[in-house]
Structure 1
Amino acid sequence: MRTPDLIGTAVSNTSRSKLRTALTVIAIVIGAFTLTVTAGIGTGVNKYIDTMTASFGDEDQLYILDETNMDRAGAPGSTGAPPEYDPETAGASSEFGFITLDADDIEAIQGIDGIEAVNPLVSVTGEYLETPNGTAYALNQFDAPQNASGLELTAGAVPEGDSEITIPSAWLEIFDTEDPDAVLGQEIEIGLLNTIGEPQTTTAEISGVTEEAISGLGGNPMPSVALNDALYQLQTSGMDIDDQYMAVTAVVPDLEGNENAVKADLEDQGYLAMTVEDQIGAIQGIINMITYILIGFALIALLAASFGIVNTLLMSVQERTREIGLMKALGMSGGRVFGLFSLEAVIIGLLGSIIGIGLGVITGVAGNQYLTSGPLSDVAGLTLFEVDPATMGLIGLLIVAIAFISGTLPASRAARKDPITALRHE
């Protein structure tokens, strides 16, 4: 029997006992569906986390601040529109108790072995933001412009010009609009206090509107690098003082190999250093753990389905004993008999995997669309399910491999049958 004939016969044989085959396929479908949904959720959520990492810096960088500020690192932005500005409380927002770094700290960090370059990050604290209609609103902190690549924009672009700034979408109401495009290009006035408490002002143009990410990025206005520097100069005017930095980013070539040594040297000198993985690793670890647990349940379902395949084919071998004897008497080799029953197992596995993966993808895509545009629409850039063709292909191959392995026992039994004994079987 030629291979095409063997495949055709295997397909025909799987439909002999439709109910038994259908129940076995359903068991495989359940496992394939669970694996597909679980893998898609893991891929989607991890993709969202990878997007978030843009707000924490490049992979070869360390984020360094004074060790005292450990509990203050990565504070999220405020929620909702700002209150109107009250001049009576001017200056109150400057009291953060945040331990800054100075030129000596920068020099000490640059002297650490393994650190190639250091980029200081200045902190600017605003007092108020005045909209075009003349109303002033309290303004606390700004998002650092170094994190612009991680912004989730609903309109416009990241700030790049000398006086460009983005605002959170929650602030649209102070501009008397719900349309983010309506505020693009509008000029606002930013007020702050210098070192001796004198009010300083400058104007800025709105270049974009952002959604607040789970990391907090986008929950505050973000000036361009040039505007941030200009605001810092205004803030430090009035008195000759040394520059103070909220933190620094340090480039470490071969960070993976040098990370522990560099971190240890920084800790010895009183600094806290964090990589991108440090800042998001806990979240990603929890998600991966949940994903692995769900994959484990799916594999248990597939294990149960594999016993169904074994049972289905053992019963088929028993029912077709005389047929097997006839095929061998007509010259069909034991290897061909083994291949015939193995193909039947593969066909059952292939059918179950196609249906299960298809249903999983449809359910995942539909669920992602419903949740991200409905109940979870406030989470900017959220992806709950992502179709990865390579992963879907691996799931299909895994299921077919399990089906083939499950079919080897019945196939071996069929291949070993003696044709004379089989033909006498009643």
Structure 2
Amino acid sequence: MVGSAVGSTLRARMRTVLTVVAVFIGALTLTLTSGMGTGVNRYIDETVAAFGDTGTLYVQKSQPLLELSTGTGPRIYDAEASQVATGFGISFTGLSQDDIATVEDTAGVAQVQPVYNVVPTYLEADGKKFQLALGIPVHGSGLQMLTGSTAIEGADEIAIPNSWVTDLGFTSAQDAVGATVEVVMSDQAGTERSFPARVSGVTQASLAGVAMNPLPSTSFNERLYAYQSSGGAQEIPPSYIMARAIMDDPAQAPVVQQELEEAGMVASTVEDQLGMFRTVIDAVIWILNTCALIALLAASLGIVNTLLMSVQERTRQIGLMKALGMSGPKIFGLFSLEAVFIGLLGAILGIATGVAGGSWLARVLAEGFLAGLPGLSLFAFQAPHLALISGTVLAIAFAAGTIPAIRAARKDPITALRHE
């Protein structure tokens, strides 16, 4: 029956080819959209890992206005330009010591790690001065490093973005590791002091901008703050740009967030911060998948038309098969196999083209348009997803073939034999 079904399908080549092309387009679109969803969501998961512990809440006094580096490199320092009193590249309302105590006393919080607000005057390297907004100290193993490592706790170290390497006078990322740059700070009296910092490593850019600014070690950040807050007539109270609240159980996050919100603070997990990206991507993928399914439904009409014409052309043949003893269920199976064969051809060609084309396009984009996001593969294909696509296409093809198959199975052999 399989051989007969394949032979019958290939006899009407042009009609079969056009129907297969329609199925091919739907299968190709589903393959590409599935690969895109997998690739982007995998990159988001890797970005989440770059922030460290998923059981950590990042607490701020109010939602900050992000002013992170664009990822194109450092800007030349201009002493005459107005300076915004911000740290980590963001404008904010700082956390006080009382706020930190409130976070510590919140049920479900095991440990609090406050992060001082440090505002460097400028960064000096290769005889040039650059504007500097330090990134939040990150020591998570998931941080994407091009070379070297994150800044070691207890050492005056700093990890710089890959986009800064050339501007700071280094020939390569490897050349930058181990070199020394100068972080210049001003105290309350306006006295400048230079703090040498060893470059511990070079970071890659990420979706959320975690590595677009230089990342100091926590101890170095605290040392810079100590000088920044000195030199005044009176001791100023400590100011924190944010605090890491490490929870006993990550599942308690919603309850802790609610309590801190009532205390006038905003707490969010990394997943919360990147949730918008994931939601937008999932929505786009859903729309594209819907379009692909519509294309497959349109292709199913082509299968119906192809097999109805085949039934019409082979009416006498059907009558002869029934007269020789072939049952209705077997005739139904024969025409259903023809429909499945058309779907199988379209699925194989569409999936193979999608995987090959998507893999090639991902490499091209990674070296060009998406070069600023190292590690992002726009298309990533998984065998279970490809199997699901293949099964979906075959199911639609089989469903489309049932109408012509039922009509063929119900033919009266005497009437069919008399058909001209």
Describe the SS at the equivalent of 1:191: strand
1:228 to 199, 221, 235: 221
Describe the SS at the equivalent of 1:248: strand
Q: How high is the sequence identity, in percent, across the aligned residues? A: 44
1:186-244 CA-to-partner distances (Å, cap 9, x unmatched) read 12232213344443433222122234334222222112234333333443445655433
After superposition, the Cα gap between the structure-2 partners of 1:53 and 1:290, relative to the gap in structure 1 and judged at 3 Å, is: same
User: What is the deviation of 1:85?
Assistant: 6.8
Q: Distance in 1 between matches of 2:220 and 2:402?
A: 70
Q: Could you tell me which residue of structure 2 aligns to residue 160 of structure 1?
A: 152
Q: Could you tell me which residue of structure 2 aligns to residue 23 of structure 1?
A: 18
The reply on whether 1:10 has 2:5 as its aligned counterpart is: yes
After superposition, the Cα gap between the structure-2 partners of 1:182 and 1:230, relative to the gap in structure 1 and judged at 3 Å, is: same
Q: Distance in 2 between matches of 1:42 and 1:206?
A: 36
One-letter amino acid matched to 1:285: T
Residues 77, 217 of structure 1: 8 Å contact kept: no
Q: Distance in 1 between matches of 2:128 and 2:168?
A: 11
Describe the SS at the equivalent of 1:158: coil
User: Which runs of structure 2 are paired with 1:101-112 in the superposition (5 Å)?
Assistant: 101-112=95-106
1:118 to 109, 112, 119: 112
1:390 to 375, 384, 393: 384
User: What is the deviation of 1:381?
Assistant: 3.2
Q: Could you tell me which residue of structure 1 aligns to residue 282 of structure 2?
A: 288
Q: Considering fraction of residues, name the structure with more helix.
A: 1
User: Which runs of structure 2 are paired with 1:20-419 in the superposition (5 Å)?
Assistant: 20-67=15-62, 70-72=63-65, 74-77=66-69, 79-84=72-77, 86=79, 92=83, 94=85, 98-131=92-125, 133=126, 135-146=127-138, 149=141, 151-160=143-152, 162-238=155-231, 240-253=235-248, 255-256=250-251, 258-419=252-413
Q: Could you tell me which residue of structure 2 aligns to residue 3 of structure 1?
A: none
Residues 34, 285 of structure 2: 8 Å contact kept: yes
Using the TM superposition, name which of 274-283 and 169-178 deviates more: 169-178
User: What is the deviation of 1:56?
Assistant: 4.7
Describe the SS at the equivalent of 1:246: strand
Q: Distance in 1 between matches of 2:349 and 2:389?
A: 12
Q: Distance in 2 between matches of 1:260 and 1:187?
A: 43
After superposition, the Cα gap between the structure-2 partners of 1:233 and 1:150, relative to the gap in structure 1 and judged at 3 Å, is: farther
1:379-426 CA-to-partner distances (Å, cap 9, x unmatched) read 343332222222121111100010011111111222222333333333
One-letter amino acid matched to 2:150: V
Describe the SS at the equivalent of 2:378: coil
Residues 82, 171 of structure 1: 8 Å contact kept: no
User: What is the deviation of 1:369?
Assistant: 1.7
User: What is the deviation of 1:266?
Assistant: 1.5
1:115-158 CA-to-partner distances (Å, cap 9, x unmatched) read 33322222322223333x5x252343211122655644333332
Describe the SS at the equivalent of 2:165: helix
After superposition, the Cα gap between the structure-2 partners of 1:166 and 1:261, relative to the gap in structure 1 and judged at 3 Å, is: closer
One-letter amino acid matched to 1:291: I
Residues 93, 127 of structure 1: 8 Å contact kept: no
After superposition, the Cα gap between the structure-2 partners of 1:153 and 1:65, relative to the gap in structure 1 and judged at 3 Å, is: same
One-letter amino acid matched to 1:318: Q
User: What is the deviation of 1:290?
Assistant: 1.7
1:5-39 CA-to-partner distances (Å, cap 9, x unmatched) read x2222222211111111111011011111111222
Q: Distance in 2 between matches of 1:254 and 1:148?
A: 19
Using the TM superposition, name which of 103-112 and 157-166 deviates more: 157-166
Residues 59, 242 of structure 2: 8 Å contact kept: yes
Q: Distance in 2 between matches of 1:15 and 1:302?
A: 21
Residues 120, 245 of structure 1: 8 Å contact kept: yes
Q: Distance in 1 between matches of 2:253 and 2:219?
A: 32
One-letter amino acid matched to 1:165: I
After superposition, the Cα gap between the structure-2 partners of 1:375 and 1:98, relative to the gap in structure 1 and judged at 3 Å, is: closer
Describe the SS at the equivalent of 1:59: coil
After superposition, the Cα gap between the structure-2 partners of 1:71 and 1:204, relative to the gap in structure 1 and judged at 3 Å, is: closer
One-letter amino acid matched to 1:225: T
After superposition, the Cα gap between the structure-2 partners of 1:401 and 1:244, relative to the gap in structure 1 and judged at 3 Å, is: same
Unaligned runs of 5+ in 1: 1-5
Normalised by the size of structure 1, how large is the TM-score? 0.87
Unaligned runs of 5+ in 2: none
Q: Distance in 2 between matches of 1:339 and 1:95?
A: 73
Residues 159, 201 of structure 2: 8 Å contact kept: yes
1:340-362 CA-to-partner distances (Å, cap 9, x unmatched) read 11111111101101101111222
One-letter amino acid matched to 2:419: H
Using the TM superposition, name which of 99-108 and 153-162 deviates more: 153-162
User: What is the deviation of 1:170?
Assistant: 3.0
Q: Alignment RMSD, CA only?
A: 2.6
Describe the SS at the equivalent of 2:57: strand
